[in-house]
Chains A and B, each alone.
Chain A
Amino acid sequence: GAGVSQSPSNKVTEKGKDVELRCDPISGHTALYWYRQRLGQGLEFLIYFQGNSAPDKSGLPSDRFSAERTGESVSTLTIQRTQQEDSAVYLCASSLRTQGEDGYTFGSGTRLTVV
C-alpha cells in the first residue's frame, strides 16, 4: 500500500484480556518499529525489526508485551493480560534501511483503551 496501515484504529478492552495489534508496513521497507504514546507523554520506543536480524526488544515494558514480524511484511504486537496503564496510542512505523535522512513513515496508530 501507499502508507503504513494499522488495525484496528481503536480498541477498547477489559482489564486482563489479551489484545493483538496489526501493522502493514510500506512494501519494500525492511525496518519496522513499534512505539507507543501515553497521554501527555512523548513517543516511547517498544521494539525494532530489521530484515532477518534479531529484533531489538529493549523497549518492551514487560513480558506481557511481545511482537512478531513475518518476513519483511506484517507485524503484530500482542499485549497479554492488559492493564489500565497499557492504555495508549500504539504507533507502527517503517523505513528503508538506507533511507537514513528521511525519517520513518508512521501509521495513524491504534488507540487502545483498557477499562
Chain B
Amino acid sequence: DQQVKQNSPSLSVQEGRISILNCDYTNSMFDYFLWYKKYPAEGPTFLISISSIKDKNEDGRFTVFLNKSAKHLSLHIVPSQPGDSAVYFCAASEVFGNEKLTFGTGTRLTIIP
C-alpha cells in the first residue's frame, strides 16, 4: 500500500522555465512533509519541508505547496537550472521532525538546456 505517491516517474523542463513536481498521500495522519533530491550514486539530500499548519514554504528558487484537503503537495522550482536535474522524492511523517519517513517512488527531473 503506497501511502505516498508520485505518479510521474519522469519530467522534462526547459532551462529557465518552472518545474512542478507533484505528490499525493493517503494517510490523513501525516503531519510533516519533505522533499529530497538525489543524484546518481549519492544519498538523497534534504531540499525543503512544510508542516501541516502551513500551506506554503519558500526557500530561494524552491517553493512547496500543501493542500491538506486534497492530500496533495507540490514542489515548484523556478527558474529551473541544469543542476536541478536529479530524482526528487516526496516524503511524509506522522510527527513533526524526522522520525520514520514514508517516501514516494521519485520523479526524475531533466532540465533541457
> A: which residues have CB within 8 A of B?
4, 31, 33, 35, 40-45, 48, 50, 56, 58-59, 91, 93, 95, 97, 99-109
Contact = CB atoms under 8 A, between A and B. Distances in A.
A48 to B, nearest CB: 6
Contacts of A91: 43-44
Interface string B41-58: 111111101000000000
A106 B98 contact: no
Contacts of A56: 99-100
A42 B96 contact: no
B25 interface: no
Interface in B64-113: 89, 91, 96-106
Contacts of A106: 36, 43-45
Given A42-B104, A43-B89, A48 B43 contact: no
Nearest to B51: A101
B106 A42 contact: yes
A42 B98 contact: no
What's the interface size class on B, roughly?
A: 20 to 34
B4 interface: yes
A102 B36 CA distance: 11
B46 A45 contact: no
Contact of B103 (A31, A43, A100, A109): A43
Nearest to B57: A101
Given A4-B43, A106-B44, A45 B98 contact: no
A42 B4 contact: yes
A45 B100 contact: yes
B43 A107 contact: yes
A59 B80 CA distance: 36
Given A42-B6, A44-B103, 5 more contacts: A42-B2, A43-B103, A91-B43, A97-B97, A107-B43
Nearest to A99: B98
B21 interface: no
B97 A43 contact: no
B100 A41 contact: no
Nearest to B97: A100
